[in-house]
Structure 1
Amino acid sequence: MKQNQLGSSELRVSEIGLGCMSLAPENGAEGREIIKRAYEEGVTYFDTADLYQFGWNEEFAGKSIRPFRDKVVLATKVGNRWTADKKSWEWDPSKTYIKEAVKDSLHRLGTDYIDLYQLHGGTIEDNMDETISAFNELKQDGLIREYGISSIRPNVISYYAEHSEIVSVMMQYSILDRRPEEEMLDYLHGKNISVIARGPVAKGWLSERAFKRSGDEQYLEYEGKEIRELVKGMQDKLSSERTLSQAAIRYCLHHPAVAAVIPGASSVDQLLSNVGAAHTPDLSQDEAALIQSLSKASVYNQHRR
């Protein structure tokens, strides 16, 4: 599988990674097989977070990749802390919390270092300089190799891009959510900061499963009927060398800012379909333009000062 450099760092990640959030405690055996098969298929980027399943996800991912730990990029996130009753979480991007939380993540992951440590959100009201200082100190101490942010907020992203050493920004990006195209992708590419695209298949909408959904469902700005029409148009007009979900994944990778997409997988079959996109042709300019003509070019109207 193609390996891409992550920003200006020495980290190289597979163009299709694995988002581990969909792995669940009740399906541990299948989850272990998914991670094992992902690595065998060339996946070298595994993404988790301390928030997922109260830390279980980090522990499970760390244990599952242990046989090949030094050959992959292990990424996790910080900034959300569960309340005492575990019914909700609070946002805490303070230096004190980040430097405490990284130790807990290292312990759960069973590793001495985190390849990519990401701020799991961010608001314009945060003391971002303090957060940046925390990440820089963790990097100097050797506890993390690089850091990035996971955010869809343009003002937050631009502040970190201008004032920190982030090498990546994770953001939701798909054919059904083209908001990053308006102002983020070219900007980050110019800064040599890589994009990690989450949600490339839009919760299954950009696959044959779209035709099995009930008529009143919707996704962001789209009604279910609109999505089915879009998906039908892709079926009719795009190359048959790819499945719908593979075309959706290749669409995200079409922009040079995107170093990796991280679809989740709840079964080995789903994993194999996702990573199979790595062996299909890149979208042509005409195909990308066709997809854009079928979909909406939305913009970020929220998360402004």
Structure 2
Amino acid sequence: MTLTRLPARRIGSLTVGAQGLGCLGMSEFYGPVSESEAIATIRRALDIGATLLDTADVYGHGANEELVGRAVAGRRESAVVATKFGVVRPGPGVGSGVRGDAAYVRRACDDSLRRLGLDHVDLFYLTRVDTEVGVEETVGAMAELVAAGKVREIGLCEAAPETIRRAHAVAPIAALQTEWSLWSRDIERRVLPVCRELGIAVVPYAPLGRGFLAGAVRSRDQLDDGDFRSFGLPRFSAENLARNLPLADRLGKLAEELRITPAQLALAWLHHQGTDVVPIPGAKRRAHLEENVDAVFLSLTRAELAAVEAAVPADEVHGTRWNEQSMRFVDL
């Protein structure tokens, strides 16, 4: 692990480290967790400059926000806390609907602040666009939260180009959080150019393909019953996983030649896409956090970048990135 702190990036008025930390797996979905190790991992992230901490109101049904709040207690000035709202999740699964009406926006923010134990959130995202409510209403309510001092910057998740433009016309959108990795490159053709035109930072979630690109999942037998990759992500079905393994093998071979890990290579590829890109790989343990953070400092040649893309061609990925129910909530 390098002792050098991460270089800085800008998300609206916020200064963050070039790579953040996704906290979802600290509360659910990705197998057993240790709360003490999770808190130690968050605090280690702050020590090394991975200051952007990403959570959401539905992660662990609020437990993840509470965990992040405990971890940043006494460290608030060094933490950039991002949380999300909008998904309605009354029980198990990943959610049953979306709400973006103004009253819900205000209530969701107050609830998140209470669980986090904070007086303001640095970055407040709309998790999914409510197709029954104009995005103008949702963003207008979010802008009111900024004016009230409860939120510093606002963002969208998984939003289509026209939605981004409409939202940005109401209030400045600082960030778009969306899935982006070597095996999820949908945003590059239409969404990324709009973000760059409008000066919106891109925050890729699942930059390691939910562990696949890191070589962590090679068999369905590795996934616990409660691991949502086993029921919510078609790319991890038995058939698709077997067909996708050659992608991980080729990436792993390249990483071995470069004397780095596959996770570091996949993240380094994303960092080379621009200084307006701030990935938020998840990590439950300090060792994985530090492995991931080292990717920020890697320099790849054009030939190496081309070899990475050739190893994981977008048109050779088998399975959709979400199941049919979840894809209904993605703004395309």
Higher normalized strand content (fraction of residues):
1
Q: Is 2:39 the counterpart of 1:39?
A: no
Name the SS of the counterpart of 1:228 in structure 2.
helix
Which secondary structure state, in structure 1, belongs to the residue aligned with residue 137 of structure 2? helix
Aligned to 2:299, the other structure's residue is in SS state: coil
Paired residue for 2:157?
150
Q: 2:16 aligns with which of 13, 16, 29?
A: 13
Instruction: Tell me by how many angstroms 1:163 deviates.
Output: 4.4
Partner of 1:229: 246
Paired position in structure 1 for 2:138: 131
Which residue number corresponds to residue 282 of structure 1? Answer: 299
Unaligned runs of 5+ in 2: 1-5, 223-229, 322-326
Once the two structures are TM-superposed, the CA of residue 148 in structure 1 deviates from its matched residue by: 0.3
What SS does the corresponding residue of 1:77 show, helix, strand or coil? Answer: strand
Match of 1:245 among 246, 255, 263: 263
Deviation of 1:154 (Å): 4.3
SS of structure 1 residue aligned to 2:97: strand
Return closer, same or farther for 1:164/1:282 CA change in 2, 3 Å cut-off: farther
Unaligned 5+ residue runs, structure 1? none
Q: Is contact 1:188-1:257 (8 Å) kept?
A: no
Q: 1:124 to 1:285 in 2, by over 3 A?
A: farther
In the other structure, the counterpart of 2:308 is 291
For 1:100, the equivalent position in structure 2 comes to: 107
CA deviations 1:17-66 (Å, max 9, x no partner) are 11111112862111111112222222111011111111111111011112
Which stretch of structure 1 is more off in the superposition, 46-55 or 206-215? 206-215
Distance 1:155 1:164 in 2: 15
2:185 to 175, 178, 186: 178
Distance in 2 between the 1:136 and 1:12 partners? 20
Q: Distance in 1 between matches of 2:252 and 2:104?
A: 48
- Report the Cα offset of residue 292 of structure 1: 2.1
Q: Which amino acid aligns with 1:3?
A: A
Does residue 3 in structure 1 map to residue 8 in structure 2? yes
Alpha-carbon offset, residue 220 of structure 1: 7.7
Q: Distance in 1 between matches of 2:168 and 2:300?
A: 29
Query: 2:208: which partner in 1?
Result: 201
CA RMSD of aligned residues (A): 2.9
Partner SS, residue 278 of structure 2: strand
1:167/1:220 CA distance change after superposition, 3 Å: farther
CA gap 1:288/1:160 in 2 versus in 1, 3 angstroms = farther
State how far apart, in whole Å, the 2-side matches of 1:290 and 1:213 are. 28
Q: In terms of mean alpha carbon deviation, does 85-94 or 293-302 score higher?
A: 293-302
* 1:116 and 2:123 are equivalent in the alignment: yes
Per the alignment, do residues 267 and 106 of structure 1 end up closer, same or farther by CA in structure 2, a change over 3 Å counting? same
Change (3 A) 1:86 1:245: closer
Deviation by residue 1:235-256 (Cα, 9 ceiling, x = unmatched): 3345524210011111122212
Structure 1 pair 304/58, CA: closer, same or farther in 2 (3 Å)?
closer
Q: How many pairs align? A: 300
Residue 126 of structure 1, CA deviation:
2.7
Task: Confirm or deny: 8 A CA contact 2:100 2:138 kept in the other structure.
Answer: yes
Contact map agreement 1:155 1:304 (CA 8 A) in 2: no
Please state if 1:265 is matched with 2:268: no
Q: Distance in 2 between matches of 1:220 and 1:184?
A: 26
Q: Deviation per CA, 1:185-231, whole angstroms, max 9, x where unpaired?
A: 2321121100000001111111232445669x962899334433223
Distance 1:254 1:159 in 2: 29
Normalising by structure 1, report the TM-score. 0.87
Query: For the structure 1 residues 152 and 282, does the alpha-carbon distance in structure 2 shift closer, same or farther, using more than 3 Å as the test?
Result: farther
Please give the alpha-carbon distance, in whole angstroms, between the structure 2 residues aligned to 1:285 and 1:75.
Answer: 33
Aligned to 1:219: 235
- 1:210–1:227: 8 Å Cα contact kept in structure 2? no
Cα distance in 1 for partners of 2:220, 2:214 equals 11
Counterpart Cα distance in 2 of 1:304 and 1:39? 33
- Counterpart of 2:216 in 1: which secondary structure? helix
Paired position in structure 1 for 2:76: 69
What are the superposed Cα offsets for residues 247-281 of structure 1, whole Å, 9 maximum, x if unpaired? 111112221264311111122222222122223x2
Residues 126-135 or 229-238, more deviating? 229-238
Given candidates 62, 76, 79, the residue that maps to 1:55 is 62
Q: Percent identity?
A: 27
- Aligned mates of 2:101, 2:157 — CA distance in 1: 16
Name the counterpart of 2:324. Answer: none
Could you tell me how far apart the structure 2 residues matched to 1:158 and 1:283 are? Answer: 33
Q: Secondary structure at the match of 2:204?
A: strand
8 Å Cα contact 1:123-1:156 kept in structure 2 = no
